[in-house]
């Protein structure tokens, strides 16, 4: 079923190239990668060769310089092949954008070419064992020592950890609260960096998730992104785009589940007729398609707002993330039900989509936190 409405010719071409990659390079292997917990770095580099390692990075540094409106199209389409790999690429691109947007010229020249080619993979380190939704309460510290900083702390649930080469780390350089947080780029080879075990997860098994342990990691002061105390603002701006990426990945996964349901119901018969001809099942499909179309419209509206610098962009990104990830999971779950017992078998790939999409309602800010952001925007003028 078509996922495009009122797209430009360039966007249609972008969608076609990305869909071909998703169908040829991701979809045939997605179930095996999930079962084997295999992180296909070689395939990620093939995606980067198409420009998908630096979607938002300026062309002068090896990126594509695409808009957020283009980006949500890319990640939705990639996720039709594998939501787990598409989700990682969304995070990698968030890291690359943060360095491109907030890095000094020397930092951009040093790190962006490798990120854009995916010769260097990126991870985002905000969450800690005791600071998830309350990100401003993080405890990882970065103590200034002459021309260096010394970082100590533990980051939790880090996608790509252990394999990624670069880590954008949020650490406390000042007092309590968001104003005391700064951003740094830590390299995997830095002394004192280590990683926890690969977490055993419900989904997203095709990418590693580990703790990042910083034990007195001494880095030059020129590894800081932006000024001291700007880290929380940098992190939140990065998350606006990250939330759109994950929302788009939910749309893509659910779109694949819906398409598979149409094929399955057309091929199956019960009581002497095709299941697809049963009006009750047609109505279920209609609901699923309608909800996905509504979610897609909200994601694209939020992406457009972010591209335009609309003051409402953060709130719209939160709305889009909450609605699209809830909707995507719900559609995938109903698709499993429409497959009957076959939906529960791993070889059909539907249960994998359900498992992968479940975490989208948690990462990049839980959907409960998205509601907090929206509610604050609605009520702030009444305080």
Percentages of the chain per state (helix, strand, coil), in multiples of 5: 60, 15, 25
CA distances from 139 to 94, 172, 185 (A): 23, 7, 17
| Contact predicate 122/159, CB 8 Å | no
Q: Which residues, listed in sequence order, are joined to residue 209 by a DSSP beta bridge?
A: 159
Tell me, rounded to whole angstroms, the distance of Cα 77 from its chain centroid.
13
Closest CA to 211 of 277, 251, 155, 249: 155
Residue 76 bears catalytic tag: no
- CA angle in degrees (0–180, nearest 5) for 253-256-261: 130
In sequence order, what E strands does 81-203 have?
Answer: 122-125, 141-145, 148-159, 166-172, 181-187, 193-195
Spatial distance between the Cα atoms of 242 and 236, rounded to a whole number of angstroms: 9
The H-or-E segment that residue 269 falls in is: strand 269-270
Q: Which of 16, 291, 364, 368 is catalytic?
A: 364
Counting runs of H as helices and runs of E as strands, what totals does the chain give? 11, 10
- CA angle in degrees (0–180, nearest 5) for 339-356-167: 165
Tell me, rounded to whole angstroms, the distance of Cα 281 from its chain centroid.
32
* Catalytic site positions: 364
């Amino acid at each position: 079923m078509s996922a495009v409405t009122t797209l430009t010719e360039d966007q249609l071409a972008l969608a076609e190239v990305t869909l071909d990659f998703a169908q040829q390079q991701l979809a045939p292997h997605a179930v095996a990668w999930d079962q084997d917990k295999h992180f296909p770095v070689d395939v990620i580099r093939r995606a980067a060769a198409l420009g998908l390692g630096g979607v938002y990075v300026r062309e002068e540094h090896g990126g594509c310089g695409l808009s957020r409106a283009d980006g949500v199209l890319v990640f939705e389409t990639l996720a039709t092949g594998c939501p787990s790999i598409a989700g990682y690429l969304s995070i990698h691109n968030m890291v690359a954008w943060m360095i491109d947007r907030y890095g000094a010229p020397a930092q951009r020249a040093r790190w962006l070419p490798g990120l854009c080619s995916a010769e260097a993979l990126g991870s985002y380190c905000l969450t800690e064992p005791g600071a998830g939704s309350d990100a401003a309460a993080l405890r990882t510290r970065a103590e200034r020592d002459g021309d260096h900083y010394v970082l100590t702390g533990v980051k939790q649930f880090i996608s790509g950890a252990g394999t990624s080469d670069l880590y954008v780390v949020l650490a406390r350089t000042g007092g309590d609260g968001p104003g005391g947080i700064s951003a740094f780029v830590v390299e995997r080879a830095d002394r004192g960096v280590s990683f926890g075990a690969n977490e055993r997860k419900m989904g997203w098994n095709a990418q590693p998730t580990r703790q990042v342990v910083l034990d007195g990691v001494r880095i030059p002061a020129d590894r800081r992104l932006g000024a001291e105390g700007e880290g929380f603002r940098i992190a939140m701006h990065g998350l606006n785009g990250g939330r759109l990426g994950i929302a788009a990945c939910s749309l893509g996964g659910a779109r694949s589940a819906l398409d598979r349901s149409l094929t399955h119901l057309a091929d199956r018969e019960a009581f002497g007729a095709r299941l697809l001809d049963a009006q009750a099942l047609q109505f279920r499909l209609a609901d699923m398609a309608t909800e996905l179309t509504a979610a897609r419209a909200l994601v694209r509206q939020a992406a457009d707002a972010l591209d335009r610098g609309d003051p409402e962009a953060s709130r719209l990104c939160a709305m889009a993330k909450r609605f699209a990830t809830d909707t995507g999971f719900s559609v995938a779950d109903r698709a499993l039900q429409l497959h009957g017992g076959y939906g529960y078998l791993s070889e059909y790939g539907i249960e994998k989509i359900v498992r992968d999409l479940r975490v989208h309602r948690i990462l990049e800010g839980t959907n409960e936190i998205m509601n907090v952001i929206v509610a604050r925007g609605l009520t702030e003028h009444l305080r």
